[in-house]
Amino acid sequence: MASPIRCGVCWMREPCDESWKTCKNGCAPGFYGQICDKACNNGHYGSECSQKCGHCRGGVQCHHITGFCPNAKCDTGWLGTKCDLRCQKGRYGELCVGVCGVCLRQEPCDFVTGDCPEGCQPGYMGEYCNISCPHGSYGPSCRETCGVCKDRKTCDKRSGVCAFGCELGYHGELCKTACERGKYGYQCLSTCGKCIGGEPCDKATGKCDEGCEPGFSGTRCL
C-alpha cells in the first residue's frame, strides 16, 4: 500500500487539504510546489519565492524565508543582513569602508573597486585619485609643471595659477614666461639700463653684470 502524501509547509501552518493533498491557501513564505515541500532556491526567497536575494558573498543562496545572507557576508560593495544595500555615494569596497578619491567632475567612484571611471579631478593623481599633486605640479593627473611663483611657492594644484603672483623676472597668468630681452622685475614692467655691449640685464634685479656703456653708471647702468 502506497504511503499517504504529506503536505509541506502550508500558509500560516494550516493543515493540507486531505482530499486534494494540497495546501488550500498556498505555501508559507520560503516554500513552493504543489504540496509546498520545496524551499525557495535559485536566488529567490519569501512569499511564493517572488523576492530576489541580495548580493550574498560568492553568489550563495540567501535564507529561503528571511532573505538573510549566511553570516551576513556580502559581495564587495554591498551591506546589510540581506546584502541589498549598495555602498553610499563616496564609499566603496569591502563593508564600504573605502573612501572615494576626487574623481573628475566630482562623480562618485565605482562602488566595488573605487576606480574613477573618467579619471581624476585636476589636482589629483593615483589609481584611486586620492593623492594630491606634489609640490611643483598641477592639472590633470598632475602632468603639468608649475611656473615660477613668488618665493618659489607652489601653484594652485588644479589651475596652475600662482596665488601670490610671479617671482621677479617672470610674468603671465601661470608665471611661465621669462621677461623679454631688455625687461626685468615685477611682471617684467621695468626696462633695463645701458648694459655694456647691449647685453641684457638680470631679469630679476635689472643689474648689468658686465658693467655699463660709457656715460652710464650704477648697478643698473641708468
Assigned domain for 78 exists: no
Question: Which pLDDT tens digit goes with each residue over 157-201?
Answer: 999 999 999 999 999 999 999 999 999 999 999 999 999 999 999
For 124, phi and psi rounded to 5 degrees?
-135, 155
State the average pLDDT over residues 47-67.
96
Q: 185 and 174, same structural domain?
A: no
Domain count within the chain = 2
Assigned domain for 46 exists: no
Assigned domain for 218 exists: yes
Assigned domain for 90 exists: no
Domain range for residue 198?
Answer: 179-222
Give residue 1's pLDDT: 35
Instruction: Note the maximum CA span of the chain.
Output: 134
Assigned domain for 145 exists: yes
From 173, 200, 202, 205, select the one nearest 186 (Cα to Cα).
205
Assigned domain for 73 exists: no
Work out the percent of the chain whose per-residue pLDDT is above 90: 84
State the average pLDDT over residues 83-94.
96
Q: 197 and 173, same structural domain?
A: no
Q: 205 and 186, same structural domain?
A: yes
Output the pTM of the full model.
0.73
Assigned domain for 31 exists: no
H helix count then E strand count, the chain: 0, 16
Assigned domain for 207 exists: yes
Question: Which pLDDT tens digit goes with each residue over 105-152?
Answer: 999 999 999 999 999 999 999 999 999 999 999 999 999 999 999 998
Task: Find where cell 615685477 sits.
Answer: 186
Q: Is the pLDDT assigned to residue 205 strictly greater than 50? A: yes
